[in-house]
Amino acid sequence: MVTTVLRRFGRRTRILLAVTLAVPLAAVLAVTGDGAQAAAALPAGFQQKTIFTGLTQPTNIEFSPDGRVFVAEKNGRIKVFDSLTDTTATLYADLRPKVHSYWDRGMLGLALHPDFPADPRIYTAYAYNGEIGGAHPKWPSANGTDDQCPSPPGGTGDGCVVSGRVSILTPPAQAGGLADERVLIEDWCQQFPSHSVGTVAFGPDGMLYAGGGDGASFGYTDYGQDSQTASDVTPDNPCGDPPSKVGTALAPPTAEGGALRSQDLRTRADPTTLDGGIIRVNPDSGEAAPGNPTTTGDDNAKRIVAYGLRNPFRFTFRPGTGEIWAGDVGYKTWEEINRIPSATAKLTNLGWPCYEGTARQAGYDGANLTLCENLYTAGASAVTSPYYRYAHTAKVVAGESCVTGSSSITGVAFHSTGAYPAAYRGALFFTDYNRNCVWVMRPGTNGLPSTAALSTFATNTGGLIDLQAGPGGDIFGVDLAGGRIIRFVYNGVNNPPVAAIKSDRTYGALPLTVNFDGTGSSDADGEALTYAWDLDGDGEYDDSTAAKPSFTYTSRSAVTVRLRVGDPRGGTDIAETSITAGSSPPTAVITSPSTGTRWAVGDKIDFTGTGTDPEDGALPDSALDWKLIMHHCPSNCHEHQITGQTGAGGDFTAPDHDYPSWLELRLTVTDADGLSDTTSLRLDPKTVDITLNTAPAGFNVTALDTTAAAPLKTTVIVGSSISIGASTSTQWVADQPYEFASWSDGGSAAHNITAPEVATTYTATYRRKTNLALGRPVTASSVWGPGREAALAVDGKLNTRWSSKYSSPQWLRVDLGSSKRVGRFILRWEAAYGKNYQIQVSANGTTWTTVINRKNGDGKVDTQGFTPRDARYVRMYGTTRGTKWGYSPWEFEIYDK
């Protein structure tokens, strides 16, 4: 069994034993052996400071002009600190019963009214634990914090449907109470456990802006199809996306569900969803703000100022302008920063899911969806390209230490004023949760952030999911997994020192003598350091000035020891660690499942564990805390905490996810003194290879987000839902056109399969397209002679032909018998051919419309598609011969497309 054991002391964590996993733990445990956060690499003069610690998955920070600091936590609590130096927060609001804190859902947005605190309203965006207009909690949790999604329906199966919500919080009516809530907007339908609501913010115009993701699956090409779980606790098409009602699964080409909700504004005939867009509303009423670009349609259509976004998790405004700068969390290939120059001048479409980055998204392109095909036909000008993008496989800055692979842009903020050097004035800072880095894009000569002035600002930052400009213009970061708020400060020409503490023990029986060592502290300028210690935890640095002091603890207590180091030019830094005297940590043991247990999607896995303590003995069930974590490893790994439970045991249903990924079952036990022990069990999935093939061979097929010529092999997790697709466009073998007929499993051209237990090949069969002209009545302008009649050009034989007289113009007309959809022709010429000719269509054989005007015929097989239209008659009208003879095609063929 591969296990990692941690000992926790108060607010600090120390690794006592770490057996290396096959995948690095950097994304899971961002602590060093002495309990200090790994040092961030920063430009000269900058320092990363930890401002607040001990938070539970913080997501947002907001600063009040009166010095107070508000912090939102993912589970639905909002805490307030009196100042940046306050170490004890007060609970301002507790919406946990209403918030669905599951996987990537939770309370994710926070904003103060521009006139705060005179106007005391606080705005929050969160995943509501209920459907739109429904009661809560729809998906309850046993401990009130770690919400669940039972199976069925399964979080990544049919999905636990919730709604996105923006609410107003006001101070309580009675002192000491919690804030009161008024729902402002609730119209985001969220089927799957990511891409929920995100930022809520006030623009410089005083209007309220909010963003929401598409609420779709992150595992496959999701257009609203059934995810193929065994039960319909959640019905097919639960959001009622067009063109079908709730309870009816959607299918290409007409489907408009799943990620296509992000393009819903283009279909005004049906109700508009807010998913995948940014809205601008009146902060008092939630109605569309004056000046919005859409003035017709329903209320939601009028609210939207930008759409075509996958997950605009974080956005901000460029100081002094109304420009929106949004980070859009990418799918398989690209992370984007999108610039929306004006929320009122133009309605902006960023292209998702039809596009990712600047290119067509392979999975959605391969599904042949009308909503995307129409957007492609409209051309590149129909969408706005990202201002900046970076590939998951590439460094943002060449040579940097930041990892590649897993990527998720999770914070954007501008620096406008303050102590930072002038070069940073107007600079855009952005961060990536998975890469643990912050970058800065300094402004160019036009004032906009310049990609030519892009540099790595900070590394080893932890998993930041928000950046905010705060007091003094400094950039602050919110570390979700680390439970802390950090601040990037500038100290001019002096590089401040970095404090570090080591100790030979952190707990033990009384009397407890501990030897401390501060010599690991450093100063980038190489200057001598001074030391001041608070060894007894009274808050005063008066216990020692030695670099390596000792202290004996004689009473049972938990003490926070602090070291303050200083350099000769006034720079200081503080480090702390915890000592627990008179106690020893407990031991956590996972008793089931057993080592080596492997899972398929949908498997129910029971787990049990124990906690024992040297002083307390067997710990009660309430002391055992479980977390289920998904590690996604396309190259480097990043983690998603799915859910948690409390007690001696429980169960979970293995979720769907793309491969490579694995599950971590993490147990933490805590004794009466607050000491903890954590153990983890790695659970790897069962995998299988699926192969997509075509007959005839070699046509393009799509698996998930990959399009390639068949055969295409993909490794997936057994039981996972995999989107596959075969092109419905005309395919060619030599000069013969083929069309999709069927998949070997009976599915439509684009559909989902459930990954089987054994390697399986799925074959898409194509058939010769129907030649609409074959054997139909035909007339010609002239015939060269016997054996060259017009009918011989539509008899399906390549050794018979029509030949005209040796003059121009000449024509050959086919009667299709009734009006049919036509969109492509083939002319298979004999040696005599047309140099210049037209393809014309008609409903009555009298009035003709030219659909092709060919001026470079070369006597080979000519074929070309045109915009499909209905016609009964099709003719070739030759205006210039390619030879001295007449026009002489072996065959004139007509197809639907």
Mean pLDDT across 512-530 = 93
Q: What's the pLDDT tens digit per position in 480-489?
A: 999 999 999 9
The pLDDT assigned to 30 comes to 29
* CB 337, CB 412: distance < 8 Å: yes
pLDDT given for residue 27 in this prediction: 30
Tell the residue number behind the tokens 């009734």, with chain if given: 818
For 31-46, what is the mean pLDDT? Answer: 58
What mean pLDDT, rounded, does the chain reach? 92
Beta bridge partners of 411: 431
Mean pLDDT value across residues 671-693? 96
Structure token pair of residue 746: 């009976």
Other CB atoms within 10 A of residue 603 CB: 17
- pLDDT reported for residue 636: 76
Q: What is the pLDDT of residues 625-644, one digit of tens each?
A: 999 999 988 777 888 889 89
Q: Both tokens of residue 685?
A: 């999935």
What is the C-alpha to C-alpha distance for residues 636 and 644, in angstroms, rounded to an integer? Answer: 24
Q: Which two tokens stand for residue 570?
A: 């006034």
Average pLDDT over residues 244-253: 92
Instruction: Return d(Cα 886, Cα 833) in angstroms, integer.
Output: 7
DSSP assignment of 782-799: ---STT--GGGGSSS-TT
With vertex at residue 674, the alpha carbon angle to CA 670 and CA 680, rounded to the nearest 5 degrees, is 35
Task: Give how far the C-alpha of residue 520 lies from the chain's centroid of Cα atoms, to the nearest Å.
Answer: 39
pLDDT at 742 over 50: yes
In angstroms, the CA 459 to CA 21 distance is 23
Instruction: In whole angstroms, give the CA distance from residue 612 to residue 588.
Output: 7
Q: What distance in Å separates the CA atoms of residue 268 and residue 265, rounded to the nearest whole number?
A: 6
845 vs 656: CA distance, rounded Å: 57
d(CA 517, CA 753): 59
The answer to which of 34-43, 56-65, 231-240 has the lowest mean pLDDT is: 34-43
Cis check: omega of the bond before 660, within 30 degrees of 0: yes
Q: What percent of the chain has pLDDT over 70?
A: 95
Residue 25 has pLDDT above 80, yes or no: no
Q: What pLDDT, in 10s, does the model give residues 117-158? A: 999 999 999 999 999 999 999 998 888 888 989 988 989 989
Any idea what DSSP says for residue 619?
Answer: P
pLDDT of residue 492: 79
Number of continuous H segments (helices) and E segments (strands) in the chain? 3, 59
Q: Compute the distance between CA of residue 316 and CA of residue 433 in angstroms, rounded to an integer.
A: 17
DSSP state letters, 267-294: -TTSPPP-TTEEEEE-TTT-SBPTT-S-
Q: Is the pLDDT of residue 834 over 50?
A: yes
Q: What is the pLDDT of residue 556?
A: 92
Q: Is 761 helix (H, G, I), strand (E, B) or coil?
A: strand
Cα 153 to Cα 148, 156, 192, 226: the distances in Å are: 11, 8, 11, 11
Model confidence at 373, pLDDT cuts 50, 70, 90, reads: very high
State yes or no: pLDDT of 819 exceeds 70: yes
Each residue's pLDDT tens digit, 78-124: 999 999 999 899 999 999 999 999 999 999 999 999 999 999 999 99
* pLDDT score, position 12: 29
Name the band, by pLDDT with cuts 50, 70 and 90, for residue 40: low
pLDDT band at 230 (very low <50, low <70, confident <90, very high): low
Compute the C-alpha angle 812/828/810, nearest 5°: 25
pLDDT at 486: 97
Q: Give the tens place of pLDDT for each residue, 570-584.
A: 888 899 999 999 999
pLDDT for the residue 635: 74
Mean pLDDT, residues 723-743: 93
Alpha carbon distance 564, 539 (integer Å): 11
Contact 643, 57 (CB under 8 A): no
Q: Over 90: is that where the pLDDT of 261 sits?
A: yes
**H/E element, 4:** strand 4-9
The partner residues of 573 in beta bridges, in order of sequence, read 565
Which two structure tokens, joined as six digits, stand for 1? 């069994």
pLDDT confidence tier of residue 494, bands split at 50, 70 and 90: confident
Give 500-532 as a DSSP string. --EES-SEESSSEEEEEE-TT-B-TT----EEE
Residue 774 clears pLDDT 90, i.e. is over it: yes
Q: Quote the tokens at residue 86.
A: 């306050």
C-alpha closest to that of 498 among 510, 489, 506: 489
